[in-house]
Structure 1
Amino acid sequence: MTADESRRTGTGPEILRTALRRNAGAMSAGTVLLGMYQAGETAFPIALGLIVQHTMRDRSPGALALSVAALAVIITTVSFSWRFGMRVLQKAGTTEAHRWRVRVAGRGLQPVAADTGLKSGEVLTIATEDADQTADIVEVVPLLVSSLVAVLIAAVALALASPWLGLLVIAGTVAVLSALSVLSKRIGSGTREQQARVARAGAKVADLIAGLRPLHGFGGNHAAFRSYREVSGEARNQAVTVAGANAAYAGTALALNALLATAVTLLAGRLAFQGAITTGELVMAVGLAQFIMEPLKLFSEMPKYVMVARASAERMALVLAAPPVTVPGSGRPAADGGLEIDCVQYGSLRKLRFHVPAGEFVAIAAYRPGAAADLMALLSGDVPPGAYEGTVRVGGREAADLSIDALREHMLVNPSNGEVFAGTLRTNIDPAGGARLVAEAVEASMLADVVALHREGLDHAVRDRGANLSGGQRQRLCLARALAADAPLLVLHDPTTAVDAVTEQLIARNIAGLRGGRTTLVITSSPALLDAADRVLVLDDGVITAEDTHRNLLGADEDYRLAVAR
């Protein structure tokens, strides 16, 4: 999508206009073909009436054969125009849905998060269901136009037989659509609420899946499932409400269309009885009265689909038009600048100040998990600059002044709950396929035994979220990925909590060896990692209260010894 198109997708109607403008060619072709289909359908009862009229008058075999040939041409036109018209429109609609899915997914994956107020599960629903429903507008408009063509042809044909018949069709169509427009608005508002509730239920499912293991661990799964049942029940109730509105809409449309068709048939019968129209015109009128129900039904349903498409487009606009949480700068960090936290106050952090020089391996022993989490959120960029006081400097430059690409190249922040993706061990360690230290990272993270267990080695398949790996294996896989990236500045948070003490000791020693000469910060309570660090900073009550080597702190600080000794 061009930059100009990106600027024009700030609201739901703008998104719909973009979809229509981008598929104007396909929609024009589809409209012509579907118009031919509807015209052919309309021509069938008209031709049948003319055949009856001329056959009764001429009684000629040649005229009958010509009439049969004309009907065959009409049937062929109807069949092929519908088939090719829908093929063109469905291809355009599928392609358009793909474009919007990619745009929404790309927006969600941008380095700078958008201020949407939505959970990841809600964004997923918008990127799938809402994108598909928005793209339906590509099919809806040609169907709407072709149905209108059919109604107009029928009205003109009936008007030629009797102006009263044509006037009845036009007036009846306007009355039907006016009555249904009220219901379509109700469906649109109900659908928006339904989509929001379904998205919230999807977000709850995503949260449950991500936290299922710890939920089972402390027995919180039943409470979590009850919470999901409530959210899902709300979505179900709203879906029932919308289904009721849809049923009322469909029933009303069918009743009104049938009433109009009946009125046309009765008026045509009366006119024929009075001799105002011929027998052939009566046959044509009765046939058109039956036929007109289908395009009228289609025509009356289209406003509902337009409202649904608009509701979905407005939900997509929540993601696409959301401003970024922060506006990054354009600078680059110095290669030997290290990391500096200067008088930072955020969450439980109170005027926090420390410096990690380039090439040093520093560990932070945080007595309170909340302080570690706040520090990790700060370093990972989840906290916009305006939400905290103080300064974070990376490579000698303020983080707010750095471009996202430069910051990501220089500093890698690896959380304790890193994600594992469906694929292979290799693609999880080296997603981009360009890492130089894959083998070294596998050895350092003690993942070599997992690789050796499988004949495929690093090409062993990994299921979604690492479902076929143990907790320790998943943690070591995430650590291997962080080490393989070989970032100038690496921040790790509790990278060994799921492994045994012996493996933890080896990993700590390996990290120190592999990261020699590279800046490394580890936030941990692991004695092995604290001992491997050049120095340890004690984070207590939001500030650094002590600084020394692990062994010196063990001998001199009773609180430290009680906090980290195992």
Structure 2
Amino acid sequence: MRTPDTEQRPRPGAAILRTALRRNIGAMVAGTVLMGLYQAAETAFPIALGLIVEHTMRDRSLGSLGVSIGALAVIITTVSLSWRFGMRVLQKANTTEAHRWRVRVAACGLQPVARDVDLKSGEILTIATEDADQTADIIEVVPLLVSSLVAVVVAAVALSLADFRLGMLVIVGTVAILSVLAVMSQRIGAGTQEQQARVARAGAKVADLIIGLRPLHGFGGNHAAFGAYRAVSTDAKRQAITVARVNGRYAGTALALNAVLAAAVSLTAGWLAFEGRITIGELVMSVGLAQFIMEPLKMFSEMPKYVMIARASAERMALVLSAPPVTTPGAGRPEPGGRLEVDGVRHGTLRGATFSVAAGELVAVAAYQPRAAADLASVLAVNVAPDAYGGAVRVGGREIADLSVEAVREHLLVNPYDAEIFAGTLRTNIDPSGTGRTIAEAVEASLLTDVVALHREGLDHPVRDRGANLSGGQRQRLSLARALAADSEVLVLHNPTTAVDAVTEQLIARNIAKLRRGRTTLVLTSSPALLDAADRVLVLDGGVITAEDTHRSLLAADETYCLAVAR
């Protein structure tokens, strides 16, 4: 049970951004210095041109021309090198930070104890990719913001030295531009957050569609599913268009305001030169700065937009990172032996199911309602938090709620009927950790030997994502081989042979009984072959255990059982 003291408070996006900034402070300082030097050198170029014109008109010597060319060469070299190394430092820090957040989000999604977050896997995937990248952009945004400010300040000071009114015009104009754009950026942030949420929902929908494509085709539901995805995708498209329009208005407004300011500075400088209040060299400098200042102003004006986008992405990451676990596992370990007990479990269609499997016993559960078998498998797999169902499940005499996640996974393995197949090889699917010692026995017991023998690479035969290059029966046998190779103390198999023929099913049932001899095994199935191979059969009907005997005794004495399992 979670208590108010143990629940985590939501972690706002601002805290994530502060964390990103704090651990990259060194790279940001170096990047800020280099980018500030770049902007200062860029600003120095029109200033140098103005000074060159001023001195050339007074002193027309080759020496002055050589010094001027040398000064311009130094400025251009500084601009080139400072930009190159400054962006290298910042982009490396940005990429590294994005990687850190991707790993953090992925780790939360892959934790054995699920988090209490109302997001689908496709949405979490979007958060772990796009949102992580956009959050890390804050590493570049701040130094670029500071360096653009340096350029504006240097330009304002240089213009003030020529005439105080020119400097004040730049300062007042910059403040006015940023004030207008700051208001517009608020709408961009809100719209972007909603767009990211809708795109994530579309991603989740298409992920579900791909997973269920085969059964959808089977019962003709693919067109309805495609229609549902089209609706979600269209919704995301409309929001993206809305955000694009806002971004377009923002960019257009920023460009127009910057152009107005540059024109105002140029015209004012021309008027002052006409009045004789500034020199020709100062006029050249002022016009050059007016043209140059548009770049840092453009960059400066775009920064609020990127800050709002980073904030919106950080808020979405906080949905995952700050979500509390659905349950708090214990720290105990089960007693040796492998006894499994289900005591009055009430969940879904289960209405107080009670039974036990002795250590080393092979027991089959024949569920008359398939949903009941699925609910029982979910409870045993700890996909349902112990405090979310009634009754108790014990492994080795200890309740699952009192055991650590590691202990549960080490002693109890539940292999679902729809277990995932991963891109890789047959070997990596059977033994993902690379430490298995019973791979050969598992391959033989699951009758995967024909698949291995069929390919020259054997167990190293490549497998595509979700086992796309394998048949349904081959995928199921590969999943069974992985479960058997784990050699766990307690193994629960849920419909492990539904995609294989009757002869293969009979052989697999005998092989499971032989390989798992002395190990606790529970099979949820309606297969006559597996039921016959079990030491005992439990009948699960109406959410409770209604009968218990061997398969053959139940066939002889229970007509309902005979009708339910006989093929």
Common fold by TM > 0.5: yes
Cα distance in 1 between the residues matched to 2:338 and 2:526: 26
Name segments (4+ residues, structure 1) moved above 4 Å.
none
- Counterpart for residue 231 of structure 1: 232
- Counterpart for residue 369 of structure 2: 368
Instruction: Map 1:30-45; keep pairs closer than 5 Å.
Output: 30-45=31-46
Change (3 A) 1:557 1:221: same
* Helix, strand or coil at the partner of 1:341: strand
* Helix, strand or coil at the partner of 1:340: strand
Q: Is the contact between residue 369 and residue 541 of structure 2 (CA under 8 Å) also seen in structure 1?
A: yes
Q: 1:252 is matched by which residue type in structure 2?
A: T
Instruction: Map 1:393-408; keep pairs closer than 5 Å.
Output: 393-408=394-409
- Counterpart for residue 4 of structure 2: none
Q: CA deviation at 1:359?
A: 0.8
Cα distance in 2 between the residues matched to 1:265 and 1:428: 69
Instruction: Map 1:106-255; keep pairs closer than 5 Å.
Output: 106-255=107-256
Q: Deviations over 1:86-121 (max 9, x none)?
A: 111111111111111111111111110111111011
- Counterpart for residue 56 of structure 2: 55
- Counterpart for residue 456 of structure 1: 457
- Counterpart for residue 94 of structure 1: 95
- Counterpart for residue 284 of structure 1: 285
Q: 1:489 is matched by which residue type in structure 2?
A: V
Say whether residues 1:468 and 2:469 are aligned partners. Answer: yes
Q: Is the contact between residue 445 and residue 508 of structure 2 (CA under 8 Å) also seen in structure 1?
A: yes
Change (3 A) 1:199 1:156: same
Q: CA deviation at 1:386?
A: 2.0
Cα distance in 1 between the residues matched to 2:339 and 2:98: 45
Q: CA deviation at 1:205?
A: 1.1
Q: CA deviation at 1:408?
A: 0.3
Cα distance in 2 between the residues matched to 1:116 and 1:161: 60
- Counterpart for residue 384 of structure 1: 385
Q: Is the contact between residue 365 and residue 537 of structure 1 (CA under 8 Å) also seen in structure 2?
A: yes
Q: CA deviation at 1:345?
A: 1.0
- Counterpart for residue 481 of structure 1: 482
Q: 1:534 is matched by which residue type in structure 2?
A: D
Say whether residues 1:502 and 2:492 are aligned partners. Answer: no
Q: Is the contact between residue 8 and residue 18 of structure 1 (CA under 8 Å) also seen in structure 2?
A: no
- Counterpart for residue 521 of structure 2: 520
Cα distance in 2 between the residues matched to 1:9 and 1:150: 39
Q: 1:194 is matched by which residue type in structure 2?
A: Q
Q: Deviations over 1:491-530 (max 9, x none)?
A: 0000000000000000000000000010000000100000
Q: Deviations over 1:289-315 (max 9, x none)?
A: 000000000000011011111111111
- Counterpart for residue 324 of structure 1: 325
Q: 2:135 is matched by which residue type in structure 1?
A: T
Q: Is the contact between residue 338 and residue 360 of structure 2 (CA under 8 Å) also seen in structure 1?
A: no
Cα distance in 1 between the residues matched to 2:198 and 2:304: 23
Q: 1:559 is matched by which residue type in structure 2?
A: T
Q: CA deviation at 1:9?
A: 9.0
CA RMSD of aligned residues (A): 1.0
Q: Deviations over 1:463-482 (max 9, x none)?
A: 00000000000000000000
Q: CA deviation at 1:61?
A: 1.7
Say whether residues 1:66 and 2:67 are aligned partners. Answer: yes
Cα distance in 1 between the residues matched to 2:487 and 2:388: 30
Cα distance in 1 between the residues matched to 2:472 and 2:261: 67
Q: 2:328 is matched by which residue type in structure 1?
A: V
Q: Deviations over 1:177-213 (max 9, x none)?
A: 0000111110000000000011111111111111111
Identity %: 77
- Counterpart for residue 437 of structure 2: 436
Say whether residues 1:558 and 2:559 are aligned partners. Answer: yes
Q: 1:227 is matched by which residue type in structure 2?
A: A
Cα distance in 2 between the residues matched to 1:295 and 1:212: 51
Cα distance in 2 between the residues matched to 1:494 and 1:386: 27
Cα distance in 1 between the residues matched to 2:316 and 2:111: 18
TM-score normalised by structure 2 residue count:
0.98
Equivalent residues, number: 560
Cα distance in 2 between the residues matched to 1:23 and 1:9: 23
Change (3 A) 1:9 1:128: farther
- Counterpart for residue 549 of structure 1: 550
- Counterpart for residue 103 of structure 1: 104
Q: CA deviation at 1:10?
A: 2.0
Cα distance in 2 between the residues matched to 1:168 and 1:495: 78
Cα distance in 2 between the residues matched to 1:390 and 1:414: 22
* Helix, strand or coil at the partner of 2:364: strand
Q: Deviations over 1:100-149 (max 9, x none)?
A: 11111111111101111110111111111111111111111111110000
- Counterpart for residue 265 of structure 1: 266
Unaligned 5+ runs, structure 2 = 1-7
- Counterpart for residue 415 of structure 1: 416
* Helix, strand or coil at the partner of 1:446: coil
TM-score normalised by structure 1 residue count:
0.98
Q: CA deviation at 1:59?
A: 1.6
Q: Is the contact between residue 10 and residue 323 of structure 2 (CA under 8 Å) also seen in structure 1?
A: no
Q: Deviations over 1:45-76 (max 9, x none)?
A: 00000110110011222111111110111011
Q: Is the contact between residue 190 and residue 238 of structure 1 (CA under 8 Å) also seen in structure 2?
A: yes
* Helix, strand or coil at the partner of 1:79: helix
